[in-house]
Every structure is written in C-alpha cells, then in structure tokens.
Structure 1
Amino acid sequence: MVKRIKQFGYSKKAAPYLFILPFMLSFLIFFLYPVISIVQMSFQSVLPGMVEYIGMENYRNLLNPTFFKAVKNSLAYTLITLAILIPVPMILACMINSRKMVGKTFFKSALFVPTLTSVVVAGIIFRLLFAESDGALMNQIIGVFGKSPVKWLRNGTTGFMVLIFLAFWRWVGINLLYFLSGLQSIPEEIYESADLDGVNTWQKFRYITVPMLRPITTYVLTISIYGGLAMFTESYMLWAGNSSPNDMGLTIVGYLYRAGWEQNNMGFGSSIGVFLLIVTLAFNAVQMYISNKKERA
C-alpha cells in the first residue's frame, strides 16, 4: 500500500494535481463554500433559533435610503482613491527611480513605513489629529492662520476628506513599491535610445514608462478597487464605531456589519454581501476587459 502511494506521488500525471491540491482545498473550504452559504442565506430570514425561506424579500429590502447612502459612499471613496493612489505613487516611483534622486532609501522607507502601521492604530491617531477640540493638532495648525477650530469629523465634506487622507497616507507606500519593481524591470537601453533621439522627459514617461508599466498598473488597479469597495475598518476606527454623523462614513461593508451583527439579521446582511461581491466582480471584469483590449491594440 505504501509503495503504491509512493508510486502515485512520483507519477508525472499525478504530480500537478498534488501540487495544486492545497490551493484547491483552501479555495473550496474558505471561499467557495462560504460564498454558496451566503447566497443561500440571502434568500432566508436568519434570526436566532429561526431560519425561514423568504425568497427575494431581503433584496427588496435593500431599496432603502441607508443602503443607497452606503453605496454612494463606497463608490465615491473607491473612485477618489483610484484617482489618487494610481498616478501619485507612479510619479513618486519615477522620481525615486531617477538617477538624479538623492536619498532614495530614505524616501522609500519614509513612504513605506505607514503601510506597516495597523489600521486600528492609524484610525485612532487620525481621530485624535482631527478632533474637534482646540488642542487637536490640525486645529492648532489652522489656528496659526487665524482660523477657528473645525469639527472635522462632524462635517460631511471634511470628514470624507480625512478618510481619503488616511487612505493616501497608509497605502501610497505599498503602491509605490509595486511601481518601483515595474520600473526596474524596464531595460535601461530603451531610455538611452530615447535620449539619443532627443525625446524629452514627459515623452519618455508617456510613451515608454506608462505603457511598460501597464501590467503593474492593472494589478494595482485591481487590488485598489477591491480595497476601496471593501473598506470598513478605517471608517469604523475614525468615528469610533459604525455610527458616523448622518452616516457620512457608512460603507457597504459597514452596512453589512450593521445588519448582520448589530441588528442580528444575517439573512439581510448576506444579501448585502452578495451585492458587494457582484459589484466588485463587475468592476474588475470591466477594467480587465479594457486593459486586455489596450494590450491587443
């Protein structure tokens, strides 16, 4: 029996399946099974000690102002962070990768360190920095210019601005490293040939750097879309809970948490999760299609 097992393990036909077996098991147990369970629960009323099939009732209940506010906040957060966390790290990576740049190691470390900070710690720090008291750091800074203290986290515009600033501070470093790795894979001879042809810096960036970084950009775009739509902890810690004023910080995941855990309605929470899954897959499918179309062109 042991001999047969060894022969099976050394078989060229069986080896590929053995190598992918750990991934397949983890995928089936920790992803596919939960997704199927959530889809099933979204058609049920799951309350303590009671499970009842209610059809599309949970999805009909999604049509409420709070859900639309959460979707609006998540989409706005995702689009704004994409507009910032794609071009800014790319430009910073080009600057750091330049031969004329001094102190490359220092700037890479300084920009990457926030990535190592816990989201919980970062949220608490930003909540203290942008507190409404006169002694808060940001109110002291604007006080130097003669401005009155601002209730940053109680105003919709400034509160959302702080949330975006937190995302930028924490994630710009990791995206910077992705783009740096892509830049270092571009052959130097291409830039040298461009210099001989009299190509300026902007033209090299537009016609050489950006096209050559397309695979990295696609990857960063994909994880940024997922990160934006799945954002929850930052908002939760910034407002010290899931109840920001006028739900200005409520996201889709925050609404899922409110329905599933705070209100103990797992069926309705599951329908929110299914909606989020569909939206995330749709966003990534569209951007992958556009990226593949550009590569073929």
Structure 2
Amino acid sequence: MEASRRQGVRKQKKRSLLYSQNAAPYFFIFPFILSFLIFFAYPVATTVIMSFQEVLPGQTTFIGLDNYKELWNPTFLTAIRNSTVYTLLTLIILIPVPLVLAVFLNSKLMFAKNFFRSVTFIPALTSVVVAGMIFRLIFGGQDGALLNSILTNFGMEPKAWLNHGGTSMFVLVVLATWKWMGINILYFLAGLQNIPRELYESAEVDGATTARKFYHITLPLLKPISIYVFTISIYGGFSMFAESYMLYGSNRSPNNIGLTIVGYLYQKGIEQNNLGFGSAVGIALLVITLIITLIQLKFFGMFKKEEQG
C-alpha cells in the first residue's frame, strides 16, 4: 500500500514537472541549445584548437602560432582582396537594386505582380552548381561561346572572360546578381507589405511627392530588413566558394584571380590535407566577418541609438 502511494506521488511530481510553466520555456529551447552546441559551439571550439596544431593522418602535433604566422602570405592576401572586392560589388548591386524593384512590385500601379515576382525568384531555386556550369558556357573563352558569338556578330573581338581579373570578377558579380536578386526582393517585399498604407495616404494628403514618401516613410521603416539583408550579404560575400569553383571547374584559376578565402581554406585543408592550417584560415575568416559585421551594426544597426524626437 505504501509502495503504491509512493509510486503515485512520483507520477504526480513528474506530471506536475511536465506541465510546469517554469519548466516549459527550458523544454522548448532545449532542441535549439542542443543543436547549437553540437553543430556550432563544438565545431568552432574544435577548429580553434586545431588551428594551433599540425594535423596529419594519424598524427597531431601542437605547434603554437606557427599556422597563423604562415597564414599571412601573398596567396592568402590575394584571397582576402578577391573576397573583399566581390563582397563590396555585390553589396553595391544587391541592396539598392532589389529595394527599388521591390517598391515597383509592391506598387498599386504595377500589373502582373505575381508573374514578375515568380520570374525574379526562379533563379534562387537553381542550384549553384548548375548556374555555375551555365555561366561557364556563356562566358567561355572559345569563339563559339554564347557571349563571344554575340560579340563577333557585332564586329568585336572575342574575350577570354575568365582569364583576366577584371572580367572574371565581372562574371562572378553577374552570377551573384542573377542568383540572389530574387531572394533580396522577397525580403524587401515582406517589409514593404508590413508598412501601413495609411501613412502613404496621409503623406499624399499633405502633398508629399513619391520621392519624399520613399525617403521619409519607406526607407526608415525598412531599416530592420535592410540591416538584415546587409548582414547576410556580407556573410554571403566572404563565404563565396561554389560559384568560383564551378566557373573554373576546379579550385584553380589563372594567377588566383578567382581564389576566395573559403577557396584557400579548401585548397589547404582538403586538397593538401593540412587541417591545422585550414582551421587557421577558417578562424581568420570568422574574425574578419565578425569585425566587419560589428562595425556595420555599430554605424547602421542595432547598436546605433535612435534620435529622440
């Protein structure tokens, strides 16, 4: 009888713990915490440790800062320059242009809105591998490549697009624009549809022009979305790898004109099986993107104090 009573008390405690309002938040956030620890915290900690080691098959040796001392070499600096230029160019294009297009697509005067929204989003559904192969065929150096054929028909000389730094970067930016334009338009459209129409109607009553409404209503209320798009675009720019790899068919490009930081990480860590040095490259990339992101958040984002009216 006593054992039965104790068992009933234990069941009641378990039931009360399961339905407890204090325990419920921890229960719901536990899957996120677990996945964060397994898939982010543990890999980052392991990478930091490996960056101070020489990791060879069946052998691990602690070498201190040697990987970081070896890191600052001309090839790595070239990768940083390429990634930085690529990121800046994509930011210049993939922030204002999608914003303007989203405003047009959200306008009451725009016809066939759903059709144009679908058309702009289709490239985002295309695999980077497929897109890279298609662009490699379009911008090939052969006379029979699509773009060179068009140039030849207009009496111009064909170009080796992927063999020169300027034209190679141009092709990478065009690929990024084609691939990610629809995603950013979708983000801005979501923000625009949350802006109350009454604000625009009140501004029209006060005689505000379209430009003034865009500057004084649209841009300020789209600030959170703009900061988000800006942040993920910085990360996407510095983490670019597959696009360059598919354009050249490998991680090798003439004079490293297509080499990125992630490409250099892949070259050292995977191709040359130097996981310790590759980890140092990964940590350097993490620090670079973290610093740039914190700077832009400081001046434009969540750390910037709003002016009190």
TM norm structure 2: 0.94
Q: Are 1:62 and 2:77 counterparts?
A: no
- Of 247, 262, 285 in structure 2, the residue corresponding to residue 253 of structure 1 is 262
Q: Are 1:10 and 2:22 counterparts?
A: no
**Which digits, 9 at most, give the CA deviation of each residue in 1:138-185, with x for residues without a partner?**
111212221111111111111110000000000000000000010111
Q: What's 1:170 paired with? A: 179
Q: What's 1:228 paired with? A: 237
Q: What's 1:126 paired with? A: 135
Superposition pairs of residues 68-147 of structure 1, within 5 angstroms? 68-147=77-156
Contiguous gaps of at least 5 residues in structure 1: none
Structure 2 CA distance, aligned partners of 1:57 and 1:2? 58
Q: Are 1:292 and 2:298 counterparts?
A: no
Q: Which amino acid aligns with 2:136?
A: R
Secondary structure of 1:51's counterpart equals: strand
- Of 61, 64, 70 in structure 2, the residue corresponding to residue 52 of structure 1 is 61
**Which digits, 9 at most, give the CA deviation of each residue in 1:242-296, with x for residues without a partner?**
0011111100000000000111100000000001111111111122222235551
Structure 1 CA distance, aligned partners of 2:205 and 2:304? 28
Aligned sequence identity (%): 57
- Of 6, 31, 39 in structure 1, the residue corresponding to residue 48 of structure 2 is 39
Q: Which amino acid aligns with 2:63?
A: I
- Of 248, 252, 264 in structure 1, the residue corresponding to residue 273 of structure 2 is 264
**How much has 1:3 moved relative to structure 2?**
4.5
Secondary structure of 1:45's counterpart equals: strand
Q: Are 1:184 and 2:154 counterparts?
A: no
Secondary structure of 1:46's counterpart equals: strand
Q: What's 2:165 paired with? A: 156
State the aligned residue count.
297
Contact 2:140 2:162 in 1 (8 A): yes
Q: Which amino acid aligns with 1:134?
A: D
Structure 1 CA distance, aligned partners of 2:304 and 2:101? 24
Q: What's 1:283 paired with? A: 292
Q: Are 1:217 and 2:229 counterparts?
A: no
Cα distance change on mapping 1:57 and 1:215 into 2, 3 Å: same
Q: Are 1:205 and 2:214 counterparts?
A: yes
TM norm structure 1: 0.97
Structure 2 CA distance, aligned partners of 1:78 and 1:103? 33
**Which digits, 9 at most, give the CA deviation of each residue in 1:36-78, with x for residues without a partner?**
0000000000011211000000000011000000000111111
Contact 2:268 2:278 in 1 (8 A): yes
Query: Which structure would you say has the larger Rg?
Result: 2
Q: CA RMSD in A?
A: 1.1
Structure 1 CA distance, aligned partners of 2:203 and 2:153? 49
Between stretches 6-15 and 153-162, larger displacement belongs to 6-15
Q: Which amino acid aligns with 1:178?
A: Y
